[in-house]
Amino acid sequence: MANGHCFHCAAAIPRNTDITLESADGKISFCCDGCLGAYLIITGSGLEEYYRRREIKQAGAPPKNSPSFSSAALMRHAYELDGKSAIDINIGGIHCASCVWLNENIISRLPGVEDVRVNYATNRARVLFDAEIINPAQIFSRISELGYVPRPYDRKSAVESAEKEKKELLLRFGTAIFLGMQLMAYSFALYAGYFQGISDEIKFYLQLFSLLVTTPVVFYSGAPFLHGAWRSLINKTPDMDILIATGALSSYIYSIYATIKGGEVYYETAAMIVTLILVGRILENSAKRRAASGVEQLLELAENGRAVRIRDGVREEVETAELKEGDCIVISAGERFPVDGMIAEGCTDVDESLATGEPLPAHKETGDCVISGSMNLTGTIKLSCTRPREKSFVARIARLIEEAQNRRAPIQKIADRTAAYFVPLVLFLGVITFIWHMSHGAFFDSALMTALAVIVIACPCALGLATPTAILAASGGAAKNGIIFKGGDILERLAAINLVVLDKTGTITEGKPSVISVHPADRIDSSRLVSITASIESASRHPLAMAVCKYAESKNIRYDMAEQATTVPGGGVAGIIGKEQVAAGSASYLKSLGITGEIPEIASSPGSMAVYVSYMGKYAGAFLFRDKLRHDASILTGYFESLGIKTVLLSGDRQENAESASAAAGISEAIGGYSPSDKVSYIEDMQKKGFKVLMIGDGINDAPALAAADTGCAVAGGTDIAVETSDMLIAGHDLEKITLAHRMAKKTMKIIRQNLCWAFLYNMTGIPLAMFGALTPVYAAAAMSLSSICVVGNSLRLLVSPRSGTKRFNTATLHDQGWENG
């Protein structure tokens, strides 16, 4: 009988577990003592509320066997703040606001803790404590007893400067807004004065005040653009910044001139350009800040902090950073390997999904190599280090990601390309106007004013707004559909891709094996075989064992707990059911148990695995497993192939497995046996050949490739590191959404081009008027607001969700809904 789910972590309760408690809510059960302990701590602190308010119902992080924390090591991360000790802690496993609430309350109830603040966005806690009453190790143990993973966090200079930059941007923006509001009051008075008449004196005062409030907006708030424009001027690469600077500065200078000489002013244009562009910058920045933290997280994986080293027969605890080649360390089950090494003694199963993406644990014996960051699952082993930590696999992956991120060529944004042609043209027209008016007998100052008017009217907000508003609206529309773009340029990159690279395991496949067929021996019927196998496998947490139990449950086949089930790493599992011996595992394992009866070779297709079962000392049958293809994988490839975009499967798995998976999903090319760095070099080779690559992956082994590709797309449920190094994220592992994202990107580019055309159209009618000195402020103001409204309105069309998520995709509906290529 199924036992239901753990009250604390909501994971399925293993069969042989019976941990229950009588509580006010009735009898509640737990999956392990760790969860029971966490429950007792939470209720003991009077925080039962947590269970009612938390949002997640699926399995959370079950408490690990609590690691011990060394107070001396942690004290090094603490620092002084307002005369008290403070420590920053990264808390892993926070899913919702209730987790934040729980952590804050539990920590703050420890004696000696003065204040706790957990930042929901960064999952980082700052704890103020009295070092004489409590030490950091006690705080860390308390967090880890609840099932969260605390790690000391050192404020790094890169993060510091990013946060400082964010604050500065916010200050600039806030300043622009406050002064802009003042400015609008004066401007409206001036507008009214233009139509109704105004005394020259008051007009002059109002213009003077306008100048007073506009100056900080242009030179303080607009400083980033002015700097950028100056840089691009020196480098002779005209970009968006030049356009903004020209627009803001020319209207500012023109207005000063008009204030002195008498005339209409355009201070509000200068202020508005700066303010609106700042909004775009702020939104873009907040999305990008998270990218750097992926590498940080990766390095923390291998950072166990301390390890037990054996030297000359003496055990001593050392920092993992101090480990050298040839050192011998002890790794017990459930720990990650801090360094690359070779097993010196013992055998165990190792979860290497980090490096290979493969879900099945690999069996390792004395003499086998293991890589850092992978998880030791079953046995305690002695490990001989082959590489120190800074050269280990995890460190190399981190370096690969960083290199790939740095190397990626910045795309020339469509707005920058426009500016490259437009700015010189406008300046040229301004000069022509000035010369023409001078040579036709105009005074110097009136010729200059006409020329500046040309530049002002040519650079209205619409041009600056064309791209940011479209991208904002598209990002909003995409987020509603579960697609997260980490920055505006991603849409431009995604729209241009012409090669799709996919990862296999976990991306286009389920990432865990399931039973595809059962082959009973002659003397036993199928359901009986499933029942006895599930009975003994229920004791194991091996993915294949869990697949058998799941299969039995899906077929409604009853099974009981086996007695004395024992697991042999790398072999299988054996136990007793109703006094009869049952064993399941590899063919060689059964032979080693002395099973009589011939074990037939189950014809297996590439990519599938077999488990053999014996009953009462005789061969009883076999199960065939395969990592099943996701149902929407072929929709994804079908969509791209129909657009003439080639799809390639890159896998760390064997070639034949990669080929069978790609054939089933309709992928045109498959390459197996690729390491994480092979994937990067493949992508870079293709980029050199002129391809724009979209990489779709989920694992840490895909992270460098995701960073290297023009667009890296992670699927939710993948590792955090993959998610953070990628450019976009698909929620709910719905591969079909990638097709939607691609269509949205195309549509966005189409809208941006339309916006630019609109803006130009208005300019093109305004410029000739200005050139002949016939431009009155009314026309100018009307043209500016009208073009801005057109552009914003057009962009807002992207907010409309293209279709409900349930409808099947096919090419016909695609065209009907106008989501075809722009």
Partner 1 sequence: MDETLLLLIVLSLFLGCGCWLLFVWGVKKGEFNDIERPKHRMLDDD
The set of catalytic residues is 503
Q: Cβ of residue 254: shortest distance to partner 1, in angstroms?
A: 23
Q: Which is nearer to partner 1, 122 or 608 (CB)?
A: 122
Classify 228 in phi/psi space as left (phi over 0), alpha (psi -120 to 50) or beta. alpha
Binding site for partner 1 (CB under 8 A): 97, 100-101, 105, 117-122, 163, 167, 170-171, 174-175, 178-179, 181-182, 185-186, 201-202, 205-206, 209, 213
Radius of gyration of the chain (CA): 33
Q: Cβ of residue 120: shortest distance to partner 1, in angstroms?
A: 4
Q: Which is nearer to partner 1, 120 or 230 (CB)?
A: 120
Is 656 strand, coil or helix? helix
Q: How far apart are CA 38 and CA 144, in angstroms?
A: 9
Q: Which is nearer to partner 1, 158 or 171 (CB)?
A: 171
Q: How far apart are CA 189 and CA 196, in angstroms?
A: 10
Give residue 499's identity as a one-letter amino acid code.
Answer: L
Q: How far from the centroid of its chain's Cα atoms is residue 413's Cα?
A: 23
Residues 422-453 as b/e (b if ≥16 CB within 10 A, e otherwise) read bbeebbebbeebbebbbeeebeeeebbbbbbb
Q: Which is nearer to partner 1, 166 or 550 (CB)?
A: 166
Q: Cβ of residue 468: shortest distance to partner 1, in angstroms?
A: 21
Q: Cβ of residue 556: shortest distance to partner 1, in angstroms?
A: 43
Q: How far apart are CA 371 and CA 682, in angstroms?
A: 23
Q: What is the largest CA-CA distance in the chain?
A: 115
Q: Cβ of residue 167: shortest distance to partner 1, in angstroms?
A: 6
Q: Which is nearer to partner 1, 118 or 649 (CB)?
A: 118
Q: How many CB atoms lie within 10 A of CB 599?
A: 16
Q: Cβ of residue 512: shortest distance to partner 1, in angstroms?
A: 33
Q: Which is nearer to partner 1, 117 or 311 (CB)?
A: 117
Strands 646-650 and 669-671, sheet pairing: parallel
CB 736 within 8 A of CB 632: yes
Q: Which is nearer to partner 1, 172 or 542 (CB)?
A: 172
Q: Cβ of residue 316: shortest distance to partner 1, in angstroms?
A: 42
Q: How far apart are CA 454 and CA 251, in angstroms?
A: 10
Q: Cβ of residue 107: shortest distance to partner 1, in angstroms?
A: 14
Cα–Cα–Cα angle for 562, 12, 337, rounded to 5 degrees:
90
Q: How many CB atoms lie within 10 A of CB 800?
A: 9
Which residue from 72, 92, 84, 80 is spatially nearest to 135, judged by alpha carbons?
72
Exposure on the CB side of residue 771, measured as CA atoms within 13 A? 17
Q: Which is nearer to partner 1, 125 or 584 (CB)?
A: 125
Bridge partners, 364 (sequence order): 348
- Tell me the residue length of the chain: 822
Q: Which is nearer to partner 1, 24 or 121 (CB)?
A: 121
Taking CB atoms within 8 Å and a gap of at least 24, the contacts of 654-662 are 654/606, 656/606, 656/607, 657/504, 657/606, 657/607, 658/504, 659/606, 660/605, 660/606, 660/607, 661/504, 661/508, 661/509, 661/607, 661/629, 662/504
Q: Cβ of residue 783: shortest distance to partner 1, in angstroms?
A: 29
Q: How far apart are CA 398 and CA 299, in angstroms?
A: 7
Distances in Å between the alpha carbon of 291 and those of 48, 408, 551, 695, 717?
36, 14, 40, 16, 18
Classify 723 in phi/psi space as left (phi over 0), alpha (psi -120 to 50) or beta. alpha
Residues 331-349 as b/e (b if ≥16 CB within 10 A, e otherwise) read beeebbbbbbbebbebbbb
Is 718 strand, coil or helix? coil
CB 250 within 8 A of CB 452: yes
Q: Which is nearer to partner 1, 40 or 171 (CB)?
A: 171
**The two structure tokens encoding residue 90:** 């990264």
Bridge partners, 714 (sequence order): 697, 729
Q: How many CB atoms lie within 10 A of CB 817?
A: 12
Q: Which is nearer to partner 1, 202 or 432 (CB)?
A: 202
Q: Cβ of residue 121: shortest distance to partner 1, in angstroms?
A: 6
Bridge partners, 117 (sequence order): 126
Token pair 């009853």 in the structure block, residue: 558
Q: Cβ of residue 212: shortest distance to partner 1, in angstroms?
A: 8
